[in-house]
Amino acid sequence: EHEEWVLSLATRLRENGVDVILDQWDLRLGGDIPAFMDRLTESDRVICVCSEAYASKANEGKNGVGYEKMILTSELIKNINSEKIIPIVRCNKLKAIPTFLITKRYVDFCADFESAYLELISGIHDETTKARPTVGKNLFEASESPIAICNAISSSQYSNPNSTGTVEFDYENNNGCFVVGSGSMQFDLQFSSASDASIHMYNDPENIEGIALADGVRSFSDITNASNAFDYTSRARTPNSDEFVIVVNKNGFFLAIKLGVIKMKGRNGAKRSSVSFEYKITQNKKGDFE
């Protein structure tokens, strides 16, 4: 099962532009195992899949894992600040990391695979899914009015930089705008009132390329090949509660939204207008959310 998981990860990395060297592909029967392991020194990055068993064997210096540890340790001795080695943990309740990698930031695959994979593939390509925001101007400069200061502070709450999440906000505020994601995977969403069971969404924001209703979709995993499966030709869409919407930004990334509770002020006792939704951003540009 472990080998199958590693094979699946390596295959996906190759599909996303990483020239992976893997023993299951590159070490032939009768091949020299130490010679294969020596190729670690020639690689740009090395991924260590740290199960509890791997961590134990590495710490004890046993078998091939011990030899691998010796090679990787020599790389770290050459440059203690090297980011060449990327530990990832799976099937590892204790999050056990070999002692020689204990200072390295690891990727946790024990829970949410997609979020962990996005972090891994972005790091390998030296990209970031959480870009550092630009520094805004000082709101308390003399030229700013008290109202402008309050508006700027209030508008900053209408955003969530994470690639997955749940949102609930009053769409009558902030011009109906809410921002999810960051960097090349940022989506500026715009909503307006339709009814207490549906809401208008638009492709007007500058970083939005298109918006589509995902008819027939019942879960995020149902969404595959979103680039070709849906119609993005209209400026506005009006989804109902529990329906899915697909948004593509001008960098070619896809966002899937499942609408939750929609309220309209004054209808059915609602004291304010609001919309809630669950969202996921996919790191592939085919729009697969499987």
Q: Using one digit for the tens of pLDDT, what is the confidence trace for 98-134?
A: 888 888 888 998 877 888 888 899 889 887 666 677 7
- Ordered by where they begin, the domains of the chain are 2-124 (3.40.50.10140), 156-282 (no CATH)
Q: DSSP characters for the chain?
A: -HHHHHHHHHHHHHHTT-----HHHH--TT--HHHHHHGGGG-S-EEEEE-HHHHHHHHHT-HHHHHHHHHHHHHHHH-TT---EEEEE-S-TT----GGGTTS--EE-SS-HHHHHHHHHHHHTT--SSPPPPPPPPTTSTTS-HHHHHHHHHHTTSEE-SSEEEEEE-TTSGGGEEEES-GGG-EEEEEEE--SSBEEEES-STTEEEEEE-TT--SGGG---HHHHS----SEE-PBTT-EEEEEETTS-EEEEEEEEEE-TTSTT-SS-EEEEEEEEESSTT----
The answer to whether the pTM exceeds 0.75 is no
Q: Using one digit for the tens of pLDDT, what is the confidence trace for 109-119?
A: 887 788 888 88
Q: What is the pLDDT along the chain (290 residues), one digit of tens a residue?
A: 788 898 999 999 998 899 998 888 988 888 877 787 778 778 888 888 888 887 878 888 767 777 677 777 776 767 766 788 899 998 777 787 888 888 888 899 887 788 888 889 988 988 766 667 777 777 666 556 666 656 665 666 899 988 899 999 999 999 999 999 988 889 999 999 999 999 999 999 999 999 999 999 999 999 998 988 999 999 999 999 999 999 999 999 999 999 999 999 999 899 999 999 999 998 778 888 87
Mean pLDDT estimate for the chain: 86
